[in-house]
A and B are shown apart, each in its own frame.
Chain A
Amino acid sequence: MTEAVVADLGTLRDADRQRRRKTKQLQFVLGIGFPICLLVVWEILTRTGIADRRFFPAPTTIGTVMVQLLESPMERARIGADIVATFRRLIIGYGLGAFAGITLGLAMGLSAKIRYSVAPMITATFPTPKLALFPFLIVLFGLGDASKIAILVLGVFYMTCLSTLTGVTYSNPMYRDVAQAFRIPRMVYWTRVVIPAALPSIVTGLKLGVGQALILIVAVEMIASQEGIGHFIWNSWEIFDVPRMFMGLIIAILMGGGAMLFGEFLERKLTPWVVR
């Protein structure tokens, strides 16, 4: 009953590796190459005057301005402080929100009474734009970091809480049947069946939460802050320094891209069994 061993395993493995490497290379080349093509088109459009230079400075112009800005130690320190401020708020707000969301989501899965009491309220208030609550949060927490962190906590909390709840309640009923049929102890059932079964959904919530957090932080920094990337972008716009504004945008894009890469890394590490 042993499965047949295929001859020449070495050759086959090499071929398989080569195929994978080729796909990777193609992914990389196109993934980088296509955006570069777009930038080239942009450059041409501004140089030929088809696009208005005041609003669409050429990529090379933005690059030059960025280099100039970064050469001044004072500007460097300012931008650094902005990035640090945004990061600090993001990490604290995201961490607290995710922790609270996952905890309550699991609690709702664990106890039907908790679910019945809390789930309708959370589902009903989920679509409320979190930004609408910002003035109220300022009243509660003041104009400092606390109100900005609070709005992040709120946004991330909803995303993770609902996706955890979905993961726990809509998991394959077969898992519960197996657990019951084999008298799997309750603790083992929770830690090694319910949570892993919900994990893909939880990770999705965590990823969505990153996007939500970035939107919220940039928005509130634009409205009410003296530092942070959102403020940097808004301030550049106010003084009509378009290339500087683009630089802020690029930083925001890099932060988002980095966060997404990190999310995908987490996904691969935490749920290696999910076929993607």
Chain B
Amino acid sequence: MADTVTDALRPFALDLTNIRKVFFARQQAVEAISNVSLRIQEGEVVAVLGPSGCGKSTLLRILAGLDTDFTGTLDWGHVDGSTDKERLRSATVFQSDSTFPWLDARKNVLMGLSGLTLDRKTAAARADTYLNLVGLGAFQKSYPHELSGGMRQRVAIARALATEPLLLLMDEPLAALDSQTRLVMQQELLRIWAKTRSTVVYITHDIGEALTLADRIVVMTARPGRIKAIETVPFGADRNVIALRGEPEFGRLEVALWQLLADEVGQTLQQQELAS
């Protein structure tokens, strides 16, 4: 977890300068994100909060290297130079279903490992470990169409975690889960990140989740998404998902973030009203 004093000295995992993305759709230019600059330290967990349609997924695709059609600069720092053959440089959990329907849960996870040089045994062990971890140990042989939406999303999470990536990008990964399962998963994620020391960019619309998981929270404005505020979360390592919610500081930050977001959400709705 981040330690503010030594932050400046630590190697960075991601450095974004003036990122701007414009979509050209049907003769209309839509500016999705604008002027986003951010430096993320190695091993840091950054949550991104923002109203729907503000460009969070767009930003994540850029970070994942899936969209190279943007202006500004993006530096992957030490992640880019990695020669580790047993960890992916980056892995992504997408917002919508991204499982392969012709592969069962286990093979979906193994497919994510096919870019690594792992012997069969290690790969199998990883698939096993991470499927168990997301609670799908009994569903290894199930095909996606035999699983619920939330279970499919957990397969996608297991697939990303199993690559033990240096940079983990997650786009509302727990949104499809019920709140109890979500809490359990949050605790598991904290445990794994502490172990693998991955750098994480975590998109969510759940303020409580952002506070629970992140070292820093980036709040974005309504479209075009800019960085409105960055909050440092004061809870250290070794967090307990349930106990955290009882802390007064948690409640205070929750209200503060809620107020930051409320303005933007109001704006988004106004924009839509004007458009229609």
Contact = CB atoms under 8 A, between A and B. Distances in A.
Contact of A177 (B66, B88, B163): B66
Interface in B26-80: 61, 64-66
A39 B258 CA distance: 73
A197 B99 CA distance: 12
B102 A3 contact: no
Interface string A180-205: 11111100100011001101000000
B88 A183 contact: yes
Nearest to A192: B111
B138 A182 contact: no
B98 A199 contact: no
Interface string B147-159: 0000000000001
Interface in B240-264: none
A38 interface: no
Contacts of A197: 100, 102
A275 B114 contact: no
Interface residues on B, range: 20 to 34
A60 interface: no
B160 to A, nearest CB: 8
Given A1-B135, A2-B137, A275-B145, A193 B100 contact: yes
Given A2-B138, A196-B100, A181 B90 contact: yes
A272 to B, nearest CB: 8
A193 B61 CA distance: 20
B144 A180 contact: no
Interface in A261-276: 271-275
Query: Could you say which of B98, B103, B181 has the most chain A C-beta atoms within 10 Å of its C-beta?
Result: B98
Contacts of A3: 135, 138-139
B53 to A, nearest CB: 19
B94 A175 contact: no
B128 to A, nearest CB: 15
Nearest to A193: B100
Interface in A153-192: 174-175, 177-178, 180-185, 188, 192
A193 B114 CA distance: 12
Nearest to A270: B102
B102 A182 contact: no
Contact of B143 (A177, A180, A199, A273): A273
Nearest to A195: B102
Interface in A69-119: none
Contact of B184 (A1, A272, A273): A1
B198 interface: no
Contact of B145 (A2, A193, A273): A273
A193 B139 CA distance: 21
Contact of B91 (A1, A181, A273): A181
A3 B102 CA distance: 23
Contact of B102 (A177, A180, A199): A199
B266 interface: no
A211 to B, nearest CB: 26
B101 interface: yes
B98 A177 contact: yes
B92 interface: yes
B91 A271 contact: no
Contacts of A275: 145
A199 B100 CA distance: 13
Interface string A218-255: 00000000000000000000000000000000000000
A180 B67 CA distance: 11
Nearest to A3: B138
Nearest to B107: A192
Contacts of B96: 174
Contact of A182 (B88, B101, B134): B88
Contacts of A188: 111, 114
B100 A175 contact: yes
Contacts of A178: 92, 94, 98, 100, 112
Q: Identify the 8 closest CB pairs spanning chains A and B, nearest first.
A: A1-B135, A183-B115, A196-B102, A181-B92, A273-B102, A273-B101, A188-B114, A182-B112
Interface of A: 1-3, 174-175, 177-178, 180-185, 188, 192-193, 196-197, 199, 271-275
30 contacts: A2-B135, A2-B137, A174-B94, A174-B98, A175-B100, A177-B61, A177-B66, A177-B98, A180-B65, A180-B66, A181-B91, A181-B92, A181-B169, A182-B88, A182-B115, A182-B163, A183-B88, A184-B112, A184-B115, A185-B114, A185-B115, A188-B114, A192-B103, A192-B114, A196-B102, A197-B100, A197-B102, A199-B102, A271-B102, A273-B102
Given A174-B96, A182-B163, A193-B100, 4 more contacts: A3-B135, A177-B94, A185-B115, A192-B114
